[in-house]
Amino acid sequence: MISSHLPDPLYRVLLHVNEEQRIWCIVRYPSSIGTFSSINISLHCIIPSTINAISAVIIIIIKARIRFTAAKHEQSYTKLLIKQLKQLKHLLIAPSVIVVLFIPRLILAFVSGCMKSNENLWIYLTGYFISFVPPILIFPIYVLPSRMYKDEFRNQTKHLLKIITKPFRSLR
């Protein structure tokens, strides 16, 4: 992730606007690097969400097949599939929410230009800050609903606290 965003600080410049007496920090990429940056941002949104959605569909289908086989065809496969969709709908909702929340960042990646008025400032600024919502929501969307992920998070947190507090215990 870091290496794919390296061009950003290298091409960041200060733009002095005398009419409005403002200084803007903008990115001026050469066309090839600008294209790379736009594609990069798009791929960082699309690929993980697509993999996540496909994985969720595969999990739901496999679980329905297993239940269908185990039930010895007492219920139809379609009914079991619909039942699994209802039970595991959170697996499909999470990638959808992430994509929807990533849309402002995608828009900003492809819409470049200088802002001339104060009205546009709030649109750009709001879109920019909304673009940080998906990375912030990854924990509550994926970890908190899952008992397994939550338990693993607790175990890793306890382990990390033991490691951090170990030097201080020897000082007592």
Q: What is the pLDDT of residues 12-27, one digit of tens each?
A: 776 666 666 666 666 7
| Amino acid sitting at position 125 | L
- Reading the chain (172 residues) residue by residue, the pLDDT tens digits are 666 667 766 777 766 666 666 666 667 777 787 778 778 877 877 888 888 889 889 999 999 899 888 887 788 888 888 988 888 887 888 778 777 777 777 776 676 555 555 556 676 667 667 767 767 777 787 777 778 888 998 999 999 999 999 888 777 6
Residue 98, pLDDT score: 74
For residues 100 and 97, what is the distance between their CA atoms, to the nearest angstrom? 5
- Spatial CB neighbours of 37, under 8 Å, sequence gap ≥ 6: 7, 8, 29, 109
- Spatial CB neighbours of 78, under 8 Å, sequence gap ≥ 6: none
Residue 113, pLDDT score: 54
Residue 159, pLDDT score: 95
For residues 168 and 161, what is the distance between their CA atoms, to the nearest angstrom? 11
* Average model confidence (pLDDT) across the chain: 77
User: Which of these, 104, 102, 97, lies nearest to 141 by C-alpha position?
Assistant: 97
Name the pTM for this structure: 0.56
Residue 162, pLDDT score: 92
